[in-house]
Structure 1
Amino acid sequence: MNNISNIANASALLPIRGTAYVPVPSDDALTPPQKYFDTDFTNSDFPLLWGKANGGRGDLSNFVNDLNINFVHLYDWSVPPAPGQQPGEYQRSHIAFLDECASLNIKVFIPVSNYFLQHLHAGKNITAFITAMVAEIYQGTTTPHRAAGIWGIGNEFDFENGYTIADVAKMIQLLINAEKSLNIPASALLPITAPVSFADPTGKRIPGIIAIQQLQAALISIGLESVWNTRFIASMNPQNEGFFIANYIDNTFPSYFPNLPFFFAEMGVPIKQDSPVKTEEDQAAFVLSQLENSKPRNNFLGACVFQFLNQTLLKEGSECTFGMNKYSGKFTTGTIPPNYIPGGGQTYNVDELIQKPMYAAVKEGFK
């Protein structure tokens, strides 16, 4: 039986008032310049995006002080250096970002991205990478960083992402192996999640349920039932109306998993001309209804709004319309540390953002 009280460090997540956070500079692209070799910007190379010091945009402090957000869902976490070392080539240090989050009482969804799952599926040995991630969170101690909230394994494994559900289970085993190699005690282990889509292959209005059942079976099949029972928190990505979400929280999910804690890792809606959400104003009203109907209760921890910024550089069509902010066309610049490879000494855009109507909806919904 697993509920919030039976999972170490899960209660520290309550209540989740979150946002999906990918602060992509406006000079990035779908085929990125080398200085942006991935979409990990929550690190020591780009502090003017998330931090307030030295004239930074201060996204994190704005989350707390203006939006009442206390949780950030990240998607990319580049391989970090060993504790106390400077980043090597293509490594990123996340300690400054985590320290800033901790100072603001923000918890972080630490991602093991689809990239690493794809490499695992291809037969690559990624043990050293996963161990480095765990070592960064514990920094040579047996206590996690105060901002570390939950391990997130991939995103929407139920879609065709170049890996399988079995790979998700194997990745969780690699994570556990890394924790054991660093002698992390059970009391200091973080919860684990693996977000699923809100797809409903059954047509029975039970989105996400089948994928979570399949992951449970995959974990049990490799001897990880104890992880399911003592560490796993389910998460899913709804784009449905508020009334549907409320019924899902109160009835649908508990009828299949009465003791399993869960949260929404991505909750939002795109703007589409062939849907009821045709304008930014429509989107704001829709998201506000979602937020009003997804308050934490029982085993439901809360929701992350999808998302911080319109991803007009990395996505196409309606997929780039989810943000509560959008680029204004104006920016200042920061400089990547001079000795960093790649991109040392090059500039990155620190964009001035325009708040969409959805921003005010999030502010109202999380107040």
Structure 2
Amino acid sequence: MMASDLASGVLGALTATVPENARSVSIPFTIAPSDFTFPAGGSRVTLKIEVTDLDGGRISVAGLASTARGASRPTSLRAGSNGLLVTVPAGDFAVRVNARAGDSLQAVVRLAGDVNGDYAVDSQDLQLIASARGSRAGQPGYIAAADLQNNGRIDSTDLLLARRNLGAASSARAVSLSLAINAEQDPEQDREVVDSAVTLVGRAEPGAVVTLVNETSGAAGGKTVAGADGGYAFANVPLALGTNTYQVASVSDLGQKAALTQTFTRVASQGAAMTSTERMAHFNLTNIKGMAYTPEPSDFAPGTPNPPNPYFDSDFFNSYYTPMWSSAQGIQGFTSNGRAVNGRGDLKSMESLGVDFLHIYNWNSQRDHTTFLQTLVADGMTVNVPISNYVFSLPMNGALGNPPYRHQLSYVQEIFNQVYPNWRSGDTKPVAGISMWSIGNEPDNTGGDIMPDAVAKVAQMIVYLEDQANIPDGQRLPITVPLSWATSYGGTSYSNPTPSVGAVEALYAAFNATTDFTASAMNLRNPVSEPYTAVQMTVPKLPSDFFATRFVWANNPVGNDVAGFLGLQQVGYAPYNHPVGANAQIPWSTIPMIFYEVGATSIETDPKNPPKSPETQAATDKKQLADMATARGNGQNLNFYGGAVFQSLDQTTHKVGSESGFGVQAFKRVNSRFSYQTITDASQYVLSFISNTWRLDDITPKPALKVVRDAFKG
């Protein structure tokens, strides 16, 4: 019999974490009479307890604490095994362990002498010990489980200890947890249902106390006790549309703890469209911890074709810029001074901050975004797909422009085909990693260049393309229009003291006033045919429930104080969800609300304003993020779903004044010069009309970076 065959028989695996600023911890356990059969004629059982530091630190077992009478003085195990042999009666005990602060420890408990791992000490175990007596570790015949003293040899003392425990047995087992929706509601057991309330069932150790917590909302889900067969159930557990994460935890009679996290998805039933709130939940956007990702290099100069500018479209979220956002080493197709290039790892850095959503500003369908999205998903994030302000400069009909963005509808259509790349073959799911549409950026702050009806037309195009591609409601993304902190949009007709309320009123009116219009685009069923042939299409008006089922209110407060907007303190205007004097037909308290740009600048060049610094930036960011967390937890902002910090990197070379200092990271400089590599891209992702060289900057954190990490990761 191999030693590895004798590794079962674990009664429990007890865990504990050494508190910060401490050097020891007690690991409690309980000997319950119902769980143990004591040796014949006795009332005590001998246990072997071995402690491990799961973080690799050095530990020492200091002893056993007990309030029970009859516990023998513990015998320390040797050979560096960090454990004890203890003979104890029924009662409560704790193993005292010296270890490094913050380390996680595990104490494994077995019956001393249970060599064959059948949870009992009997004659078979004594025979195994006797047969191995005289052997040492590494020699033939040595059985680790028979070495009760852990001293590397099996001798008469091991046999004596086992004989004293002869007849001991236990029904305790190392905890194994499970959690699922009951089979009647989820017959396929794929954790996806349409029910708004379900019964969650599972198994734990018999008699264990089991608790349930909704990790999505933080709400307690109840407590129960596992039955004689280990089964347990929680009835009427609520599921919101979208993903719902629950954690179940158990504590056995012995005191061992176990936890399991499981995600369940509620999908919309066939019929009525989801509301905007339900849609945000469906795409897991109800607790956004986002970042406005702006990785423009230090030589970024939009619109400068000298040589043909590789940054012409401000789209860095594609394979051409892999070394910027990937953390891979020696990336194929990229060199710097003839050497292989390692990725800067922007996405992995975002993940380390706790970021789960990226707000980006440009998307060029000529670029290949596949690898970027795959890496994004692997790092636990999603992204919006922007229809940028550029769309509004294109003609709706008439003369053809240059490929590929000849007309507005073509521009939207090309991007749509990257969001839903397989719709022609019947796969109507958006590509993994994409969770929201955004139309424009602060159209209410363009001096009248982009009016609400123009925004509404783009929304019509998205819905039209969805209809043509037969995208079901459950696969249609939320749509947002990022708005500024302004109090009006398009003149005095739509204004309100509460920032962006007037803009929402203007959009609401525009969405409801849409009419059919004609637009030129490529043939939807044969979009790759060239030369480009403009086809006149009739784009229908928006459905009457568009605002209620698709619209998400996104506001860009940047450095402004958000406490009043969120109703946390009284200011000169009412909170966003109860604006005074606003259109009463708009359901203000139920519109999904997110901040798309929250954060402060570290630079101030206007002498009329208070000076700014990286420290003042961090302080403002900290307050804004704390106010957002308070609003999400106070029960008064049920549809406030978090937001994105503005922004990932300073925009030093193409913005001036305060606009250049919003990044939570800055360009690294050496002797006042930017530190960077010049990347040569020899990959297949270079567009024919742009340069194949670009700048990969070294970057350095600002104090605000830690503020974001603390807020998002705790």
Q: Given the two structures, how large is their TM-score scaled by the length of structure 2? A: 0.47
Aligned residue in 2 for 1:42: 317
Q: Which residues in structure 2 correspond to 1:76-225 (within 5 Å)?
A: 76-78=362-364, 80=365, 91-120=366-395, 125-140=407-422, 141-160=427-446, 162-201=449-488, 205-222=497-514, 223-224=541-542, 225=544
- Amino acid of the structure 2 residue aligned with 1:219: F
Alignment partners' CA distance in 2, 1:308 and 1:266: 11
Alpha-carbon distance, 1:120 to partner: 5.0
Aligned residue in 2 for 1:319: 659
Alpha-carbon distance, 1:289 to partner: 0.2
2:546 aligned to which of 227, 240, 243: 227
Q: Compare the two structures and name the one with the higher strand fraction.
A: 2
Alignment partners' CA distance in 2, 1:335 and 1:13: 38
CA spacing shift, 1:32–1:356, aligned 2, 3 Å: farther
Deviations 1:133-157 (A, max 9, x none): 1111122120111211110000111
Alpha-carbon distance, 1:208 to partner: 0.4
Query: Any conservation in 1 of the 2:438–2:479 contact (CA below 8 Å)?
Result: yes
Q: Given the two structures, how large is their TM-score scaled by the length of structure 1? A: 0.89
Alignment partners' CA distance in 1, 2:600 and 2:700: 19
* Matching of residue 7 in structure 1 with residue 293 in structure 2: no
Q: State the SS of the aligned residue for 1:354.
A: strand
* Matching of residue 335 in structure 1 with residue 680 in structure 2: yes
* Matching of residue 240 in structure 1 with residue 522 in structure 2: no
- Amino acid of the structure 2 residue aligned with 1:282: T
Alignment partners' CA distance in 1, 2:690 and 2:301: 19
CA spacing shift, 1:267–1:156, aligned 2, 3 Å: same
Alignment partners' CA distance in 1, 2:390 and 2:699: 29
Deviations 1:224-274 (A, max 9, x none): 332211111110100312533432799611114111011001112233253
Alignment partners' CA distance in 2, 1:326 and 1:46: 19
CA spacing shift, 1:327–1:298, aligned 2, 3 Å: same
Aligned residue in 1 for 2:650: 310
- Amino acid of the structure 1 residue aligned with 2:387: V
Alignment partners' CA distance in 2, 1:211 and 1:236: 10
- Amino acid of the structure 2 residue aligned with 1:357: P
* Matching of residue 51 in structure 1 with residue 299 in structure 2: no
Q: State the SS of the aligned residue for 1:289.
A: helix
Gap regions ≥5 residues in structure 2:
1-272, 330-341, 399-405, 515-540, 580-587, 669-673
Deviations 1:257-313 (A, max 9, x none): 111011001112233253345211111100110000112351001011111111112
Alpha-carbon distance, 1:118 to partner: 2.6
Aligned residue in 2 for 1:68: 354
- Amino acid of the structure 2 residue aligned with 1:94: H
Q: Quick one: higher RCO (CA 8 Å, sep 6+), 1 or 2?
A: 1
2:619 aligned to which of 282, 285, 296: 285
CA spacing shift, 1:307–1:121, aligned 2, 3 Å: farther
CA spacing shift, 1:7–1:151, aligned 2, 3 Å: same
CA spacing shift, 1:128–1:22, aligned 2, 3 Å: same
Aligned residue in 2 for 1:360: 706
Alignment partners' CA distance in 2, 1:121 and 1:274: 44
Alignment partners' CA distance in 2, 1:14 and 1:350: 34
Alignment partners' CA distance in 2, 1:366 and 1:63: 11
Alpha-carbon distance, 1:103 to partner: 1.1
Alpha-carbon distance, 1:347 to partner: 2.0
* Matching of residue 263 in structure 1 with residue 594 in structure 2: yes
- Amino acid of the structure 2 residue aligned with 1:240: N
Query: Any conservation in 1 of the 2:396–2:409 contact (CA below 8 Å)?
Result: no
- Amino acid of the structure 2 residue aligned with 1:43: N
Gap regions ≥5 residues in structure 1:
81-90
Alpha-carbon distance, 1:75 to partner: 0.3
Alpha-carbon distance, 1:204 to partner: 5.9
Alignment partners' CA distance in 2, 1:248 and 1:175: 36
Deviations 1:336-365 (A, max 9, x none): 345522466722211110111111221222
- Amino acid of the structure 2 residue aligned with 1:172: A
Alignment partners' CA distance in 2, 1:278 and 1:180: 50
Aligned residue in 2 for 1:88: none
Q: State the SS of the aligned residue for 1:335.
A: strand
* Matching of residue 254 in structure 1 with residue 577 in structure 2: yes
Q: State the SS of the aligned residue for 2:700.
A: strand
Alpha-carbon distance, 1:171 to partner: 0.4
Once the two structures are overlaid, the 10-residue window that deviates more, 101-110 or 284-293, is 101-110
Query: Any conservation in 2 of the 1:337–1:345 contact (CA below 8 Å)?
Result: no
Alignment partners' CA distance in 2, 1:275 and 1:362: 25
Q: Compare the two structures and name the one with the higher helix fraction.
A: 1
Aligned residue pairs, count: 355
Query: Any conservation in 2 of the 1:338–1:344 contact (CA below 8 Å)?
Result: no
